[in-house]
Amino acid sequence: GEDVEQSLFLSVREGDSSVINCTYTDSSSTYLYWYKQEPGAGLQLLTYIFSNMDMKQDQRLTVLLNKKDKHLSLRIADTQTGDSAIYFCAESDNNAGNMLTFGGGTRLMVKP
Amino acid sequence: NAGVMQNPRHLVRRRGQEARLRCSPMKGHSHVYWYRQLPEEGLKFMVYLQKENIIDESGMPKERFSAEFPKEGPSILRIQQVVRGDSAAYFCASSQNTQYFGPGTRLTVL
């Protein structure tokens, strides 16, 4: 079945850029997503990218997609302490009911 | 426009009891998805429903778990005869295209 992999942990200093990486196996992925989860909370959709795009920018967030390598990244510019959370990468396939397949999440810790 | 609503937010059950989790989708959304998140893990798909229909239940355990999305009212995820391994956070998402998540129900089985 489909698989989505992420590194477990990332630590950065406040003001630096954070780059969270994700790889996936489903070659028929239609959309790729980044969600943020704060402790004890639900998932907040941050951004998503259609599979025929290679980049999307939204304020401090930049998503890069390398479809050939099935590699997705989320860059957070000027990282703030409020960005500390778990970030989940997810993919969906329009031809498979649009359910999301999630990675295990990357815990981002931002040090002051 | 209220977001996806889930209740209860926290639910404690003893082994063998039943758990009922409710999800009200965003206004105008007719697709509901249920996911389970075990501690320190990502979310795993359980079931996808549209009004009065189960579209895909490939992620649902074969026994004790059931889901419905009636014509009127919220979607219900029902777990019968709960066991300790059912302790998890259960998230509902609704969509027309993009999935938006509710705050989750955290089930603890004693």
Please judge whether A44 and B101 are an interchain contact, meaning their C-beta atoms are less than 8 angstroms apart.
yes
Mean pLDDT of all residues in B26-48? 91
Please answer whether residues B21 and B10 qualify as being in contact, where contact means their C-beta atoms are separated by less than 8 angstroms. no
**Quick check: A96 pLDDT over 90?**
no
Mean pLDDT of all residues in A6-23? 96
Mean pLDDT of all residues in A14-21? 97
Residue A27 — very low, low, confident or very high, per pLDDT cuts 50/70/90?
Answer: confident
The values of phi and psi at residue B47, to 5°, are: -155, 150
Nearest of B59, B56, B54, B49 to residue B95 by alpha carbon: B49
φ/ψ bin of B96: left (φ > 0), alpha (ψ from -120 to 50), beta (otherwise):
alpha
Residue A97 — very low, low, confident or very high, per pLDDT cuts 50/70/90?
Answer: low
**Quick check: B37 pLDDT over 90?**
yes
Q: What confidence score (pLDDT) does residue B97 get?
A: 78
Residues in chain A closer than 8 A to B104 (CB atoms): 41-42
CB-nearest partner of A42 from B44, B56, B103: B103
Residue B98 — very low, low, confident or very high, per pLDDT cuts 50/70/90?
Answer: confident
Provide CB contacts within 8 A for B68, sequence distance 6+: B49, B54, B75, B76, B78
Among A6, A32, A38, A43, pick the best mutation site for testing chain B contact (most B Cβ within 10 A). Answer: A43
Nearest of A86, A72, A92, A68 to residue A2 by alpha carbon: A92
Mean pLDDT of all residues in B62-89? 95
Reported as a single tens digit per residue, the pLDDT across A55-95 is 999 999 999 999 999 999 999 999 999 999 999 999 988 76
CB-nearest partner of B48 from A35, A99, A103: A99
Name the residue in chain A with its Cα closest to that of B59. A99
Please judge whether A43 and B43 are an interchain contact, meaning their C-beta atoms are less than 8 angstroms apart.
yes
Residue A30 — very low, low, confident or very high, per pLDDT cuts 50/70/90?
Answer: confident
Residues in chain B closer than 8 A to A42 (CB atoms): 6, 91, 101-104
CB-nearest partner of A97 from B56, B98, B100: B56
